[in-house]
A and B are shown apart, each in its own frame.
Chain A
Amino acid sequence: MNDAFDIRGESHIEVHKFRTGAIIIATLLALLIQSSFPIHFAKAAVLDFPLLVTIYFGLSRRNPSTGLLLGMFIGLLQDSLSGPTVPLGLYGIAKTIIGYLASSIGARLDTEHPAARFALTFAFFITHQGLIVVTRRILLAQPEPWFNMHLIVAALVNALVAVFLFLLLDRLRKN
């Protein structure tokens, strides 16, 4: 595994395969943790585990089609679990685009280095929240602030957690 964060030709980037059922189990666990964790640790609501899983598998699988479909699947499940005030498609659209972007970038860059993962997760988190705000404001006509400091703090926390979570998820790869 190369630790460098460098731009390479698409053909040199390794596409990672995962153990059977690993993606499904990780996805369901992320959704479960996302809905259960904040009951006992209120501050954990700042974490977006389904987004981190979308980013990780997008970056690792490096196939834009599967990345966007996985993003859509995770986003729609998150919408379904969030009650009728969150319409189906809100997180679905955002995570579809993030899944596509992550796998497209994963196909062009080596994203194994923790610094690269930190930076990419930070950028993807901001993009994800931006997409949700755009959807709420333009498609749903709901007032939503564009930017606040909480967003930056949340992006930093998620990026930091992603570094460790991605190391854990690396263990699910087939050698």
Chain B
Amino acid sequence: MVALPSRHKSLVLLAGVIVLQILMLAVQIKRDSQGRLIRVWTVGAVSPFERAGSNGFGWVRDTWRHYFALQNTTRENEQIRRENDALKLQLSQLQGKAADADRLAALLNFRQSHAEVPMIAARVIGVGAGTASVTIDRGERAGIRKDMGVITPDGVVGKVVETYPNAAQVLLLTDKDSGVGAMLADSRIQSPVGGQGEPLLLMKYVPNDDDVNLGERVITSGMDRIFPRDLPVGTVAEIKSGNPFKLIRIKPAANLERLEEVLVLLSLRPLEMKNEESSGDAQPSAPSAPSSKPAVRR
């Protein structure tokens, strides 16, 4: 047998490892399998540390924002400053807790006002690389399944694309592969809204003849059978004429770049929502002017 020089050995190893990974990619495309077992093991092993890391970073951030960033404001009296700094530190911790409490209270209010819709709150514990996705700290054991919708009280966030026992991955609306059935709140023109891999979303199929106004609200249409009708998607931020459709850019209603807590809609069946103002009547919901806080019914 011919012995390979050590330099060639590493080249052969490189070629072997690359070919192996290309084959792995090919298998995933061909069989539409996504290496679930490897992902389950990896996410299962890493998500407890992600949880701890997320909490740790949150504490550091709050301390930085509310304490260190303000520290240069006074140098007049060392003694008073020291006391002041200690108080600021205490205050920053309280502010951090208060901000957390506010966010959680908003989630709780939203959850309580839509008690008939099964949903569960989850905390964002990780961010995916090369794609607009996040990992949340609830998974199959909490009843979360693939394709469930994810929202915040501000609006639509995305949908669950993978679940693990104690975690799930959520594809954000801003990802190129993401989309939601939507319509313009005033004109009721329906068109899907999709991500482009950048902060603004794109509404593609609105004819040039239709009137669309800057700042107009975009809400879910319910046509995707994932999200209930009338949830806020965003607002029209830019309108350009295209051929044959307008190019409408939408600013997402939910702050997708700073997600900390989300709500997962625990249903794969289509849900219906009606406007709060029309929920008191026996009349069917009017097709115009939905309120910003829509009521939900199954």
Contacts and interface: CB of A to CB of B under 8 A. Distances in A.
Given A40-B58, A68-B13, A100-B10, A81 B126 contact: yes
Interface of B: 7, 9-11, 13-14, 17-18, 21-22, 24-26, 28-29, 34-35, 38-39, 41-43, 46, 49-50, 53-54, 57-58, 60-61, 124-131, 133-135, 161-162, 169, 171, 175, 177, 257-260
27 contacts: A34-B129, A35-B126, A36-B50, A36-B125, A39-B134, A39-B258, A40-B58, A40-B60, A65-B9, A77-B42, A77-B46, A80-B41, A80-B43, A81-B42, A83-B135, A84-B39, A85-B131, A85-B133, A86-B129, A88-B24, A89-B22, A89-B24, A91-B129, A92-B21, A93-B22, A96-B14, A140-B29
A86 B130 contact: yes
A110 B169 CA distance: 42
Interface of A: 28, 31-42, 45, 48, 50, 63-65, 68-69, 72, 76-78, 80-93, 96-97, 100, 104, 132, 135, 139-140
B57 A40 contact: yes
A39 B128 CA distance: 10
B190 to A, nearest CB: 26
A77 B39 CA distance: 8
Contacts of B169: 83-84
Contacts of A40: 54, 57-58, 60-61
A159 B42 CA distance: 28
Given A36-B57, A42-B258, A80-B38, A96 B43 contact: no
Given A35-B50, A83-B131, A90-B25, 10 more contacts: A35-B46, A36-B54, A39-B57, A63-B10, A69-B13, A81-B46, A81-B129, A82-B130, A82-B133, A83-B169
Contacts of A140: 25, 29
B34 A39 contact: no
Contacts of B9: 65
Given A82-B129, A84-B169, A65 B10 contact: yes
Contact of A81 (B11, B14, B135): B135
A41 B10 CA distance: 39
A97 B46 contact: no
Contact of B10 (A68, A81, A87, A97): A68
Nearest to B32: A84
Contacts of B35: 80, 87-88
Contact of A39 (B26, B42, B127): B127
B128 A83 contact: yes
A41 B61 contact: yes
Nearest to B127: A38
Nearest to A33: B53
A97 B18 CA distance: 8
A68 to B, nearest CB: 5
A122 B259 CA distance: 30
A41 B17 CA distance: 35
B42 A93 contact: no
A64 B21 CA distance: 18
Nearest to B19: A93
Given A42-B258, A83-B169, A64 B14 contact: yes
Nearest to A84: B34
A91 B24 CA distance: 12
A3 B171 CA distance: 46
Contacts of B34: 84, 87-88
B129 A78 contact: yes
